[in-house]
Amino acid sequence: MADLTDAKRRIVERLKRVESATAPELAAGFGLTDTAVRQHLEALEALGLVERSASDPVGRGRPPVAWRLTPLATSFFPDRHADLTVELIGSIRDALGEKGLTKVLGTRAKAQEASYSMALPDPETTPLAERIARLAEVRTAEGYLAEAVAEPDGAMLLVEHHCPIADAARSCSGFCQSELELFRRVLGDDVVVERTQHLMAGDQRCAYRIRTADAPSRTLVSVSSSPLAAPLRSAPSR
């Protein structure tokens, strides 16, 4: 909570411990005035960290306004999802061996393939550019900050500027390999997918050159420095 003042941080922490609280209740606990607490709450509301909720009426008049945290406030508290994922990968490897881990990744890949196949247009009737653009949207929704880039020779680039599973991928290279194979399966039999940049290999991003099977192969030097590469569609982070 480095970006919050001490008073706002304490309010957020208090609301994390209770289901909801009114401004007077918070003020009494912190030794502040109701007005000061309301000002802090309204500032937190503007940041999207708290929201108002209905509370039970007490006597006559309007019921007091209760405040509670929004899901966005979760980001201010410790999150060990990445650590847990790496630990689970290690535990699966220890318990089942590499073959067992590969089987688990295969099961995940099958579920991804089914989901992607439903989200992507029919490869038999849809141009390659449209398929890649839709795949970029799906990947962005999953946190990869992806975009589809058209190359002058008619090939397409799928560029992923962020990897939300980087810690897991460092622990198990099978994630990267299964995703490459996944793209090859869901985009259709008429395409060739080549990984041309790889975050795990020291590049700044992952990039895949995708072309029709009868098009010539070419190695991508740098997505960011190529003046000829024109974005077909950029999918903003959601």
Quick one: 86 and 158 in the same domain?
A: yes
Q: Say which CATH number the domain at 203 has.
A: 3.30.1380
Query: Does one domain contain both 64 and 173?
Result: no
H/E run at residue 179 = helix 174-186
Q: Are residues 65 and 86 in the same domain?
A: no
* Residue after which a domain boundary falls, among 43, 76, 109: 76
Res. 199: pLDDT tops 90: yes
Q: Which positions ≥6 away from 182 have C-beta within 8 Å?
A: 109, 112, 113, 116
Instruction: Quote the pTM value.
Output: 0.69
- pLDDT one-digit tens code per residue, 47-85: 999 999 876 666 666 777 899 999 899 888 888 888 899
Q: What was the pLDDT predicted at 58?
A: 63
Q: What would the pLDDT profile of 91-117 be if each residue is shown by its tens digit?
A: 999 999 999 999 999 999 999 999 999
Domain boundary among 41, 76, 111: 76
**β-strand pairing of 146-150 with 21-22:** unpaired
| 121 and 185 part of one domain | yes
Residue 89 and residue 191 in one domain: yes
Do residues 197 and 207 touch, judged by C-beta distance below 8 A? yes
What span, in angstroms and rounded, lies between the C-alpha atoms of 30 and 37?
9
In this structure, are 99 and 216 located in the same domain? yes
**Alpha-carbon distances, residue 1 vs 148, 214, 220 (angstroms):** 35, 54, 41
CATH code assigned at 41: 1.10.10.10
CA 166 – CA 125 distance, rounded (Å): 34
132 and 229 together in one domain: yes
Q: How many domains does the chain have?
A: 2
pLDDT of residue 203: 94
Judge whether 218 lies within some domain.
Answer: yes
On the CB side of 132, how many CA atoms lie within 13 Å of its CA?
28
1 is a domain residue = no
- Does some domain include residue 105? yes
Residue 120 and residue 206 in one domain? yes
Residue 150, token pair as written in the block: 């058209």
- Same domain membership, residue 216 and residue 131: yes
Q: How far apart are CA 75 and CA 87, in angstroms?
A: 21
Q: Would you give the distance in Å from CA 6 to the centre of its chain?
A: 30
Q: Which domain holds residue 202?
A: 81-234
Burial 69-105 (b: 16+ CB within 10 A, else e): beeebeebeeeeeeeeebeebeebbeeeeeeebbebb
Tell me: do 60 and 116 sit in the same domain.
no
pLDDT beyond 80 at 157: yes
Do 211 and 98 lie in one domain? The reply is: yes
pLDDT band at 165 (very low <50, low <70, confident <90, very high): very high
Using pLDDT thresholds of 50, 70 and 90, give the confidence band for residue 2.
Answer: low
Residue with tokens 């309007």: 62
> In this predicted model, which residue has the larger pLDDT, 46 or 58?
46
69 and 94 part of one domain: no
Tell me if 32 is assigned to some domain.
Answer: yes
For the packed helices 128-141 and 81-119, what is the interaxial angle rounded to 10 degrees? 150
Task: Tell me, yes or no, whether 208 lies in a domain.
Answer: yes
Of 76, 110, 125, which marks where a domain is finished?
76
